[in-house]
Amino acid sequence: MYGSGHERLDVNALAAEGQVIRRHYPASELPRLAEAGLDGTGWVDAVLSFSAAGDGRFGCDLEITGSLTLQCQRCLRPYEQVLAGSSRLVFVEEGSEESGAEPGEAEAYPVQAGWLEVVELIEEESLLAVPLVARHEQGADGCGGGREVATDVPAEEEPRQRPFAGLKDLLKS
Ligand SMILES: [Zn+2]
């Protein structure tokens, strides 16, 4: 499944069977997300639960979790931003003018002849989860809201976490 940048899913078949699809993408497979980050590292896990929308159409509940390296706008150091989002989609044929208001919180999402470009969808959802202003959480070590601008503290002093230690292996496959 890796490197399949144009994977397409048959939403009608998946919804009819109530299928749940799970995908993992390194940021390198989501170019716009990689660009939004500081250094192109990061990842996203997605769970797509397909179902009938109840009106003859099909939809899916989408949940994403992930991580992206951003630069804190307060202390200018890199940090790991947790990405999380969920949405309810109802699939509509592209160009069918069906994309009006959907019941509840559902969002009309275009497909072509029932085929969902899954990477594109995950990339869009991931971008929505990126905060407009990148910042450490309030009270994070050494990020004191301007009190302590770390001009002379080398970034190396921060304990190195390696959340992506397994990424190289993933990329190999
Ligand atoms: Zn900070």
Backbone φ and ψ of 20, nearest 5°: -115, 125
- Which tens digits make up the pLDDT trace of 127-169? 999 999 999 988 888 897 554 444 554 555 445 555 555 555 5
Task: Tell how far the Cα of 73 is from the centroid of ligand 1, in angstroms.
Answer: 7
Token couple for 35: 């660009």
Mean pLDDT calculated for residue range 43-47:
98
CA of 98 to the centre of ligand 1 (A): 44
pLDDT above 50 for 76: yes
The confidence score (pLDDT) of residue 56 equals 84
- What per-residue confidence (pLDDT) applies to 171? 60
Question: How does pLDDT run across 90-108, given as a tens digit for each residue?
Answer: 999 888 766 555 667 789 9
User: Domain residues of the chain, as ranges?
Assistant: 8-172
Which of the residue ranges 54-58, 79-83, 121-125, 159-163 would you say has the lowest mean pLDDT?
159-163
Q: Ligand 1 centroid to 134 CA: how many Å?
A: 9
Query: Is pLDDT larger for residue 55 or for residue 172?
Result: 55
Locate the DSSP E strands across 55-128. Answer: 58-71, 78-93, 107-111, 115-117
Residue 2: predicted pLDDT: 46
